[in-house]
Chains A and B, each alone.
Chain A
């Protein structure tokens, strides 16, 4: 039986973490490679890098970061942010990432999902979805709408329909981020997570709202997610990955506890 995955997410701009990460010893680290290495040693099951670099030069720096990470970290990791073409995907995969995550680009050009899946395999292609709760309507019967550009731009797409579509286009995984829950630390959007996870046959990663390990337990039990993305809860040293996993294990969730 597969273990439920715990995936820390690191935001990177111009090759540096946008905010330093505090580990339990309260050391502050601004280097994404070093932070990723510590999470790896602490038992992260996978790592996500989200590149918010805008400039062309910055993207070159990101590829160097990916190469360094790949030479020191021997678990899968993905890179998202700004990937808009098959060439972008190829660059990141050749630098050593296992997966690439596409979000706005998939909405604008859904065939990118298929092209990527055909060239690199579905398992490489993660589609990120930012979702906002809206009143149910004819176009958005689920009451959840896909938004892009960091949540600023509505797309008119129903989240459930979009999830099913990206699956049929060849996505290997969905990273489902609730804009409503993001940053609240009140827990994942469980209704949304369950709704999507039950209707697709690809893994769903719950994202947004983690503030306590109980939230991860809920995401993978009630929410039926395969994995939980975490950020500030570990970045600010409130919880460590081993303690989170211990908690989940005690609650009967199958997690990887030996590494």
Chain B
């Protein structure tokens, strides 16, 4: 069972729909016990960092996630989930979970691409350039694109940078370490390559669980 963490941050059902389509057992939950006994955790979310953190704390889910990391339960953060696993977010100057060293920054309105000022949010399809091997991207064509919607971007400690994306600047779009990953894009909305990534995550969790 994969737990999709419910912290009232946007539409969690799209992740559920993608997992259902892949026939991967899953449940949307905010129950710490269920979360800590699951094979893997997906930490999605759309919305603001501040509101997300206060809800997580209220439900003691911040502690649950820290314990899950200690227990080596595979975790995949998506979008806002990718941002709040860092130490700090410029969005509302929020202290965040700190599962991975780093912070989350806002795209500057001064950024340009080909001389044209960028639109914010960064919304649409973009590529990911991998800087190290990552199990999540196994059997995914390196020219694949993924669907992004965000105004803030992760800026982790360099040792956790796995992949980057160019939008006015090169920002980190995939980060973490084996078993604790986060992606800034929405795999559940990125067509076949995105579904493959979710499947890869589940396969990793399944292997780890059965090891």
Residues of A in contact with B (beta carbons under 8 Å apart): 1-3, 5, 40, 45, 70-72, 74-76, 93-94, 96, 98, 121-123, 172-173, 201-203, 224, 226-227, 256-259
Contacts and interface: CB of A to CB of B under 8 A. Distances in A.
Contacts of B125: 2-3, 5, 45, 256
Contact of A76 (B17, B46, B145, B147): B147
Interface stretch (B29-37, B69-77, B154-162, B192-200): B192-200
B123 A123 contact: yes
A50 B176 CA distance: 41
The 8 closest A-B pairs by CB, nearest first: A2-B124, A3-B125, A258-B143, A256-B145, A123-B149, A256-B125, A258-B141, A259-B191
Nearest to B144: A258
A71 to B, nearest CB: 5
Contacts of A45: 124-125
Interface of B: 10-11, 13-14, 17-18, 20-21, 46-47, 109, 113-114, 116-117, 119-126, 141, 143-145, 147, 149, 166-167, 188-195
Given A76-B147, A94-B13, 14 more contacts: A2-B123, A3-B125, A40-B191, A45-B125, A74-B21, A74-B188, A74-B191, A74-B192, A74-B194, A75-B147, A76-B189, A257-B143, A258-B143, A259-B145
Contacts of B194: 74
Nearest to B21: A71
26 contacts: A1-B126, A2-B122, A2-B124, A2-B167, A3-B125, A3-B145, A70-B14, A70-B17, A71-B17, A71-B21, A74-B190, A76-B147, A96-B17, A98-B14, A121-B46, A121-B47, A172-B121, A201-B120, A226-B119, A226-B124, A256-B145, A258-B143, A259-B144, A259-B191, A259-B192, A259-B193
Contacts of B188: 74
Summarize A's interface: helix, strand, loop or mixed: loop
A202 B119 contact: yes
B190 A93 contact: no
Contacts of B190: 74-75
Nearest to A76: B189
Contacts of A258: 141, 143-145, 193
B85 to A, nearest CB: 20
Contacts of A226: 119, 124
Nearest to A77: B189
A121 B150 CA distance: 10
B201 to A, nearest CB: 15
Nearest to A255: B125
